[in-house]
Amino acid sequence: NYHSLPILLRTNVPKEIMAFPGFPHPKEWTSYITREQCLEYLNMFIDHYSLRKYIRVKFRALRLLF
Protein backbone atom coordinates (compact mmCIF):
# COMPACT_ATOMS: atom_id res chain seq x y z
CA ASN A 1 0.00 0.00 0.00
CA TYR A 2 1.49 3.33 -1.11
CA HIS A 3 0.16 5.18 1.95
CA SER A 4 1.73 2.74 4.40
CA LEU A 5 5.23 3.88 3.44
CA PRO A 6 6.96 6.25 5.85
CA ILE A 7 6.42 9.90 4.94
CA LEU A 8 10.14 10.71 4.66
CA LEU A 9 11.10 7.58 2.71
CA ARG A 10 13.76 8.06 0.05
CA THR A 11 15.05 5.46 -2.34
CA ASN A 12 18.30 3.71 -1.43
CA VAL A 13 19.48 3.63 -5.05
CA PRO A 14 20.31 6.76 -7.07
CA LYS A 15 17.84 7.73 -9.78
CA GLU A 16 20.59 7.36 -12.37
CA ILE A 17 20.67 3.60 -11.71
CA MET A 18 16.96 2.94 -11.32
CA ALA A 19 15.72 4.80 -14.41
CA PHE A 20 14.16 2.84 -17.24
CA PRO A 21 16.45 2.70 -20.33
CA GLY A 22 15.81 5.69 -22.56
CA PHE A 23 13.56 7.37 -20.00
CA PRO A 24 15.65 9.37 -17.49
CA HIS A 25 14.29 11.05 -14.39
CA PRO A 26 13.93 14.86 -14.52
CA LYS A 27 17.40 16.43 -14.24
CA GLU A 28 16.33 18.87 -11.53
CA TRP A 29 15.56 16.03 -9.10
CA THR A 30 18.23 15.04 -6.59
CA SER A 31 19.89 11.65 -7.00
CA TYR A 32 17.90 10.09 -4.15
CA ILE A 33 14.27 10.74 -4.95
CA THR A 34 11.30 10.85 -2.59
CA ARG A 35 8.41 8.39 -2.70
CA GLU A 36 6.26 11.08 -4.36
CA GLN A 37 8.88 11.58 -7.07
CA CYS A 38 9.14 7.81 -7.56
CA LEU A 39 5.37 7.59 -8.04
CA GLU A 40 5.41 10.63 -10.35
CA TYR A 41 8.20 9.06 -12.45
CA LEU A 42 6.26 5.79 -12.80
CA ASN A 43 3.13 7.71 -13.84
CA MET A 44 5.15 9.75 -16.35
CA PHE A 45 6.54 6.54 -17.86
CA ILE A 46 3.09 4.90 -17.95
CA ASP A 47 1.52 7.93 -19.64
CA HIS A 48 4.41 8.44 -22.08
CA TYR A 49 4.06 4.90 -23.39
CA SER A 50 0.23 4.74 -23.04
CA LEU A 51 0.43 1.75 -20.69
CA ARG A 52 -2.39 2.69 -18.32
CA LYS A 53 -4.92 0.65 -20.32
CA TYR A 54 -2.91 -2.50 -19.48
CA ILE A 55 -2.80 -1.89 -15.72
CA ARG A 56 -5.36 -3.58 -13.49
CA VAL A 57 -5.66 -2.92 -9.77
CA LYS A 58 -7.62 -5.00 -7.29
CA PHE A 59 -7.80 -7.70 -9.95
CA ARG A 60 -7.36 -11.39 -9.26
CA ALA A 61 -5.17 -13.26 -11.72
CA LEU A 62 -6.23 -16.89 -11.99
CA ARG A 63 -3.49 -17.97 -14.38
CA LEU A 64 -0.32 -16.57 -15.97
CA LEU A 65 0.92 -17.78 -19.33
CA PHE A 66 4.46 -17.17 -20.56
24-34 pLDDT per residue, tens: 999 999 998 98
Is 23 within 8 Å of 48 (Cβ atoms)?
yes
Query: What integer is the mean pLDDT of 54-59?
Result: 85
Residue 44: the pLDDT is: 97
Is 11 within 8 Å of 18 (Cβ atoms)?
yes
Q: What is the DSSP string of the chain?
A: -GGGS-TT-B-SS-HHHHSBTTBPPPTTS-SS-BHHHHHHHHHHHHHHTT-GGG--SS--------
6-42 pLDDT per residue, tens: 566 667 889 999 999 999 999 999 998 988 899 999 9
Its pTM stands at 0.72
Residue type, 44: M
